Structure 1
Amino acid sequence: MNAISPEKFLRDLFQAGLDAANPRLAVPDYLPQAPKGKTVVIGAGKAAAAMAKAVEENWEGPIDGLVVTRYDHDMPEGEKCTRIGVVEAAHPVPDAAGREAAKRIYEMVQGLSADDLVLCLISGGGSSLLALPAEGLSLEDKQTINKALLKSGANIIEMNTVRKHLSAIKGGQLAAAAAPAQMVSLLISDVPGDDPDVIASGPTVPDPSTFADTRAILAKYDITPPASVAAHLEKAAKETPKPNDPVFANCSMHMISRPQDSLEAARRVAEKHGFTPVVLGDSIEGEAREVAKVMAAIARQVTNHDQPAPAPCVLLSGGETTVTVKGNGRGGRNAEFLLALAVELDGAADIYALACDTDGIDGSEDNAGAILRPDSLERAEKLGVSAKEHLANNDGYSFFQALDDLIITGPTRTNVNDFRAIVVMPKG
């Protein structure tokens, strides 16, 4: 085992995961041939600006178009796109900037021929950023439902099922608008299972979900929609395009980066440093604090029984946990996971952990996540900070801020979901 501190090792693992998801490395290998007609580049997501820049750097011939990304996720000065427009908008609750960008993108792909190419760049976050309400609905309607879903504990598949059926552009409807043009979609996955119809609510792929599914999800989480939304869902006048719909005849899709790719990169770094990597899964879901209980039990199994691997080892996992918000603290699902893990481990020696969102933003805060050390609870106690009280208030951010253990990367301009690593060192 190489001499490296657990904290530095954890940060190196996370950086390896980020490097593996760099859009500017992934995009070039999947670019299609130039068409006979014109090329229009569109896209949405936290990685959209970086993906668009990669297209500009590797595309020979004329292009234009528009992508929408989250505020502060455009490329830095000196690296901004010059041929593809970039608009910034709000996430996770949509705003007028996202609505106007979605409207422009929707109009941009209409009236094309089979000789034209639409290159669509999709990454996580696109559901909120590509906010074009269905006929009869307002932006305010979508904002109300989004806020309720975010607090409900609904998983990403459920949330995006609802979003598709309140939209004029999601759930394959963007592809329908572009037909009969050739459409090539490049996707960076931020969802468990890498399901293309869930990533950014699948604007260019078939949608198997229905209005009935949407009504059931709202009922499950006891969400009472605005009257206009309820009427729209009951009317169900126009379903989203389904598999085998002819609008997809000239469409193709490539998954260019996945959560598993980042875990594999971290695994290689772990082996290089003499740690045994155990990949627990790339699509772990559930309440963050419940997932933490399971992870704590596995870490203790390593310490007590050398299973599923002897120390030194690192438990790697990805996916997207959820938080049912009951308090009013500054949260983020990764901070919540780590705080719950701290409570479960209760100062267990030789166990360290990191949990971060690969987009650099944990929830709506300014941190990617945080780091947990064996002495975190002890240091917090000396500061008069109670882990259990902060957990009850969904206030993981403030807990780790007090310890100066937040990880702040700024926007990474990619997004392959959460990255978790738990290091178990040999005893003593």
Structure 2
Amino acid sequence: MPGIIIPKGMEQPDLPREVQVLRGSHPILDSSSIESTRKVLSNMKELNEASVAIVLISGGGSALFELPVEDISVQDFASVSKCVMNSGGSIQELNGIRYTMSQVKGGKLARFLYPARVTALIISDVPGDDISVIASGPLVPPDMPENALRENLERFSALCPDLARVKDKLDLNLPESYDGIFRKVQNRIILKNSDFVDSIANILREDGSVVRVLYEPVTGDVHKVSEFFVETARTMYADLHRPFFLVAGGETTVTVHGNGIGGRNCQLSVMVSTLFSRDEEFAFASLGTDGIDGVSPAMGGITDSVFRNRVTEKEVEASLDKNDTFTLLDKYRSAVISGFTGNNVSDIFICYYAGNSASNGN
């Protein structure tokens, strides 16, 4: 069966000869993704009512598979996406804008596949597993009313000059749920963040550790999330009276002010460490499952009591001001570098907490 894939960070996966591997870019769109997308769409022209198409969708598809609407350049698309991300936009808000700049997102890919029978197998990198958000929902009608979409555009047009400049060129004619192009489309999630969370929790339990799991996705601004984890760890310890692990998944947002090297996971791991006192025993990991956090070469960081007592307040303040948290983590050998993992189910958070030295009698 012939096929085409556009992976991230994989030169030549071990696949049958009939499967062609094309290049793409993530998280910021470039010309390689557009060229590859055109080739994929060209292969769809021969589909008919008797055809069957299997579509594999995962996190990263928002940039790896993309074709901007006419009069929107790759530079426009990339700069707008980057600005929305750096302005603290959530994945839902970012995708709402991508829908209007794209010929294949927000359900629009279904127009190219129709009238074939389509089965989409999806790996979710989105907290809550909303399939209209994963890879910007190429085969799902957008779950965003037109008024909310316009409000989203107005808000970020005020923050992003490039978006304001191209606003009149955007395509607001998005597919509706009742559109016939979705009649023969089935979307199935085959792997998600909670599966990974369960796996980590089970491994820790097998080692005899006390484990608590948060099944509600942890999302929001990195400042609020860091406070949440510290407060939750202390509250749970007051109830348990013994060391434990807290495991969760989700995705934070960061407003970028500096031009340093880092990402949301690096930033969260540093911020959590600063909120624990120097006499508390803890370890905290914030990791991106795709292996790459923001503009850093790391998947995130692991900080602990040793890191907390070695790093200076001046160093922490400078790294946060510049969004340069990878550099700080790397200096203290606390950055986790795995390279591309070939998968993406959003972020994983692991917190170990054992109280403070006074309560432990040390």
TM-score tier by shorter-chain length is: over 0.9
Question: Equivalents in 2 of 1:327, 1:310: separation in Å?
Answer: 41
Question: Equivalents in 1 of 2:245, 2:328: separation in Å?
Answer: 24
Residue 312 of structure 1, CA deviation: 2.3
Question: Residue 168 of structure 1 is aligned with which of 103, 110, 115?
Answer: 103
Contact 2:261 2:324 in 1 (8 A): yes
How many residue pairs match? The answer is 355
Does structure 1 residue 271 correspond to structure 2 residue 205?
Answer: yes
**Residue-by-residue CA offset, 1:312-367 (whole Å, 9 max, x unaligned):** 21111111101001122211101100111011113343211111100011112211
Does structure 1 residue 208 correspond to structure 2 residue 143?
Answer: yes
User: CA, structure 1 residues 310+255, in 2 after alignment: closer, same or farther (shift >3 Å)?
Assistant: farther
Question: Residue 191 of structure 2 is aligned with which of 257, 264, 280?
Answer: 257
Give matches, 1:140-219, under 5 Å: 140-209=75-144, 212-219=147-154
Residue 73 of structure 1 aligns to which amino acid in structure 2?
Answer: M
Contact 1:65 1:84 in 2 (8 A): yes
Question: Equivalents in 1 of 2:231, 2:67: separation in Å?
Answer: 44
- 1:418 alignment partner in structure 2: 347
Question: Equivalents in 2 of 1:297, 1:321: separation in Å?
Answer: 17
Contact 2:12 2:21 in 1 (8 A): no
Residue 266 of structure 1, CA deviation: 1.3
User: CA, structure 1 residues 401+81, in 2 after alignment: closer, same or farther (shift >3 Å)?
Assistant: farther
Contact 1:360 1:367 in 2 (8 A): yes
Contact 1:89 1:98 in 2 (8 A): yes
- 1:287 alignment partner in structure 2: 221
Give matches, 1:80-99, under 5 Å: 80-99=15-34
Question: Equivalents in 1 of 2:303, 2:252: separation in Å?
Answer: 18
- 2:236 alignment partner in structure 1: 302
Residue 207 of structure 1, CA deviation: 1.8
Residue 232 of structure 1, CA deviation: 2.0
Question: Residue 176 of structure 2 is aligned with which of 242, 245, 248?
Answer: 242
Does structure 1 residue 404 correspond to structure 2 residue 338?
Answer: no
- 2:6 alignment partner in structure 1: 68
- 1:351 alignment partner in structure 2: 282
Question: Residue 316 of structure 1 is aligned with which of 244, 247, 261?
Answer: 247
Q: Which moved more, 1:192-201 or 1:347-356?
A: 347-356
User: CA, structure 1 residues 140+211, in 2 after alignment: closer, same or farther (shift >3 Å)?
Assistant: farther
SS of the equivalent of 1:320 reads strand
CA-atom RMSD, angstroms?
Answer: 1.9
Question: Equivalents in 1 of 2:66, 2:173: separation in Å?
Answer: 18
Contact 1:343 1:388 in 2 (8 A): no
Question: Equivalents in 2 of 1:232, 1:375: separation in Å?
Answer: 53
Residue 421 of structure 1 aligns to which amino acid in structure 2?
Answer: I
SS of the equivalent of 2:189 reads strand
**Residue-by-residue CA offset, 1:57-82 (whole Å, 9 max, x unaligned):** xxxxxx11212122x23455xx2452
SS of the equivalent of 1:280 reads strand
Question: Equivalents in 1 of 2:188, 2:279: separation in Å?
Answer: 44
Contact 2:316 2:328 in 1 (8 A): yes
Q: Which moved more, 1:294-303 or 1:187-196?
A: 294-303
**Percent pairwise identity:** 30
Contact 2:273 2:284 in 1 (8 A): no
Question: Equivalents in 1 of 2:30, 2:259: separation in Å?
Answer: 23
Contact 2:88 2:255 in 1 (8 A): yes
Question: Equivalents in 2 of 1:253, 1:350: separation in Å?
Answer: 45
Residue 244 of structure 1 aligns to which amino acid in structure 2?
Answer: Y
Question: Residue 231 of structure 1 is aligned with which of 149, 154, 168?
Answer: 168
Which consecutive residues of structure 1, in runs of 5 or more, have no partner in the other structure? 1-62
- 2:324 alignment partner in structure 1: 395
Question: Equivalents in 2 of 1:275, 1:180: separation in Å?
Answer: 53
Question: Equivalents in 2 of 1:405, 1:81: separation in Å?
Answer: 39
Question: Equivalents in 1 of 2:301, 2:164: separation in Å?
Answer: 41
